[in-house]
Structure 1
Amino acid sequence: MEKYIEIIKNSYTGYWSYLKNEILLQNQWDNYFYGLILVSIIVWGLEIVFPWRKDQARLRKDFWLDAFYMFFNFFLLNLIVLIALSNTTEAFFNDILSLIGLSSSDVQLFDVDALPRPIGLLIFFLVSDFTQWNTHRLLHRVPFLWNFHKVHHSVKEMGFAAHLRYHWMEPVVYKSLLYIPIAVIGGFDAQDVAIVHFFALTIGHLNHANLGWDYGILKYIFNNPKMHIWHHAKNLPKHTKYGVNFGISLSIWDYLFKTSHIPSDGKDIELGFEGDERFPKDFLQQEIYPIKLKS
């Protein structure tokens, strides 16, 4: 137990130093802080220049709430929960393996370092995205998880910042389920993670933006605004009661596994979920909503 407490303590102090370096521009090529700001400004600019819903305000409904969620979930949440969780999960996983006489290298199917870098990055991206697609489906199908995911689906007007409106429990689920397949492959370095992360961040921002794009023939590969808006539709056919279009970065999984649904343009459909008129409107109440349901 002392080992895990020490890991958590070191995780906090290490991440706090990292965050300061981000803000003070000590980290250059993989600066998440300014990378998030830059991607957000670019996609917001595209919304302003090429608005799909022309009557939607530039500072749409809940714009500032979503902006707060972006920075809370991207930085403070990492400091409070995820860094310590990731490090302790890794240590716990390795300890379990050691009990049966194995190490993390023993469970690796292959090491991507042995492959050409573009192929390694592609494998990392595909494994990550497919795992997250399945996790996203779980968030809709398991009632306990759906109560947390409702925060993301409480968005009533779509815009880029809605991408990072989610409950802090969601990344705990995502990262926990993602750890094992990534550990089985192995060999990724920080630069690989940063490249894939910024690519996924950009696609996620675009998916939620006020843009009427579907990327032509590439819509069958990449998730897009015209597809993702139907994921947020309040009213769907009964046979899709658990949701549709679960893709994170890629749409191909939805087409392969028959969960795609784009019946029409979708430009002016109502967003949300059944009963969302009673869902809390402020950050703190949204965060404690799933807990209050159990009390």
Structure 2
Amino acid sequence: MEKYLDIIVKSYTGYWNYLKYELIDIYHWDNYFYGLIIISLVVWGLEIAFPWRKDQSIFRKDFWLDTFYMFFNFFLLNLIVLIALSNTTAEFFNDILGFFGWHVDSLQVFDVDELPRWLGLLLFFLITDFVQWNTHRLLHRVPCLWNFHKVHHSIKEMGFAGHLRYHWMEPILYKSLQYIPIAIIGGFDAQDVAIVYFFAITIGHLNHANVGWNYGPLKYILNNPKMHIWHHAKQLPSHLKYGMNYGLTLSTWDYLFKTDYIPHDGRDIELGFEDDHKFPKTFLKQSIYPIKTDL
């Protein structure tokens, strides 16, 4: 137990020092803090220049709530819980493997350092995105998980910052399920992760933005605003009662596994879920809603 407490303490101090470095050093290209701000401003600018729903306000419904979620989930949440949880989970997993005489390195199928860099990055991206797609499906199919995911689906007007409106439980689930497949590959450095991260954030922002794009032939590869708005549709088709268009970055998984659904231009469809008018409207009440509901 003392070992785990030491990991938690070191995780907090390490991430705090890292966050201070991110705020001060604006000149390294893989700065997550300013990278997120730049991507957000660019996509917001595209919303303003090319609005799909022309009567939607620039400061749409819940704009500031979603902006708070954006910074809380990607920076404060890491400081409060995720880094410490991730590090202790990794150590706990290693301890379990050690009990059987194994180590996480023994699970590694291959090392991406042995591959061309572009191929290693592609494999890393495809595997993480596929795990995220399956995790997203779980959030819709398992009732207790759906209560957490309702926070994201409480969006009533789509905009770029809505991408990052989600309950703090979701990244815990995503990161936990990603750990083993990423450990099996191994060999990634921080810059590799940053490349994939910034690409995924850009596509995710665009998916939720007020722009009417589908990227032409690339719509079968990349998730897009005209596809993702149907994922947020309040009225679900009878043959997809748990939802559709689960892709985060790639749309390919939905086309492969027949969970794609784009019946027509969804620009003006109603968003949300059944009885969403009863759902809490503030950050704190949305945070405790799933816990109260599942008790």
What TM-score range do you get, normalising by the shorter chain? Answer: over 0.9
Contact 1:161 1:208 in 2 (8 A): yes
For residues 33 and 140 of structure 2, the distance between their equivalents in structure 1, rounded to whole angstroms, comes to 30
Identify the residue that residue 287 of structure 2 maps to in structure 1: 287
Structure 2: which amino acid aligns with 1:283? F
Mapping for residues 147-226 of structure 1, pairs under 5 Å: 147-226=147-226
Separation in structure 1 between the aligned mates of residue 281 and residue 40 of structure 2, nearest angstrom:
23
Partner of 2:13: 13
| 2:76 equivalent in structure 1 | 76
The amino acid that maps onto 1:181 is P
Instruction: Give the AA of the match of 1:73.
Output: N
Instruction: In structure 1, list runs of 5 or more residues that go unmatched.
Output: none
Q: In 2, are the aligned partners of 1:21 and 1:27 still within 8 Å (CA)?
A: no
List aligned pairs for 1:37-76, cutoff 5 A.
37-76=37-76
Displacement of 1:27: 6.6
Alpha-carbon distance in structure 1 between the residues aligned to 2:293 and 2:105? 42
One-letter amino acid matched to 2:167: H
**Contact conserved, 2:66 with 2:162, CA < 8 A, in 1?**
yes
User: Does the CA contact (< 8 Å) of 2:144 and 2:294 recur in 1?
Assistant: no
Q: Supply the RMSD in Å over aligned alpha carbons.
A: 0.8
Q: Residue 254 of structure 1 contacts residue 260 of structure 1 at CA under 8 Å; is this kept in 2?
A: yes
Distance 1:50 1:160 in 2: 13
**Cα distance in 2 for residues equivalent to 1:52 and 1:14:** 43
Q: 2:112, 2:186 within 8 Å by CA — same for their partners in 1?
A: yes
Amino acid at match of 2:93: F
- Whichever residue aligns with residue 110 of structure 2, its letter is F
**Relative to 1, partners in 2 of residues 1:27 and 1:178: Cα closer, same or farther, differing over 3 Å?**
farther
Give 1:95's aligned residue: 95
**Does the 8 A contact of 1:39 with 1:202 survive in 2?**
yes
Instruction: Map 1:245-256 onto structure 2 (within 5 A).
Output: 245-256=245-256
Following the alignment from structure 1 to structure 2, what is the Cα–Cα distance between the partners of residues 189 and 179? 15
Q: Find the residue that maps to 1:28 and give its secondary structure.
A: coil
Q: Following the alignment from structure 2 to structure 1, what is the Cα–Cα distance between the partners of residues 26 and 211?
A: 34
What's the CA shift string for 1:115-161, capped at 9, x where partnerless? 00000000000000000000000000000000000000000000000
Q: Counterparts in 2 of 1:268-283, with a 5 A limit?
A: 268-283=268-283
**What residue is the counterpart of 1:242 in the other structure?**
242
Mapping for residues 24-43 of structure 1, pairs under 5 Å = 24-25=24-25, 28-43=28-43
2:189 and 2:122 mapped to 1: Cα distance? 14
Could you say what secondary structure the match of 1:93 adopts? helix
C-alpha distance after superposition, 1:36-74 (max 9, x if no partner): 000000000000000000000000000000000000001
Is contact 1:128–1:178 with CA below 8 Å preserved after alignment?
A: yes
Q: Distance in 2 between matches of 1:253 and 1:294?
A: 31
SS at match of 1:255: helix
Unaligned runs of 5+ in 2: none
Which deviates further from its counterpart, 146-155 or 181-190? Answer: 181-190
Q: Distance in 1 between matches of 2:26 and 2:2?
A: 32
Instruction: Tell me the number of residue pairs that the alignment of Structure 1 and Structure 2 aligns.
Output: 295
Contact 2:26 2:34 in 1 (8 A): no
Q: Does 1:230 align with 2:235?
A: no
- On the 8 A contact 1:53/1:267 being kept in 2, the answer is yes
Mapped to 2, the partners of 1:27 and 1:67 lie a distance apart of 24
Is 1:127 the counterpart of 2:127 in the alignment? yes
Question: Alpha-carbon deviation of 1:26?
Answer: 6.0
TM-score (normalised: structure 2): 0.99
Alpha-carbon distance in 2 for matches of 1:272, 1:294 = 20
Deviates more, 1:41-50 or 1:28-37: 28-37
Distance 2:275 2:6 in 1: 44
User: Any runs of at least 4 consecutive aligned residues in structure 1 with deviations exceeding 2 A, and if so which?
Assistant: none
Q: Which amino acid aligns with 1:192?
A: D
Distance 1:222 1:294 in 2: 35
Answer yes or no: is the 8 Å Cα contact 1:230–1:244 preserved in 2.
Answer: yes
Question: In structure 2, the residue corresponding to 1:263 is in which secondary structure?
Answer: coil
Shift of 1:236: 1.4
Using the TM superposition, name which of 19-28 and 60-69 deviates more. 19-28
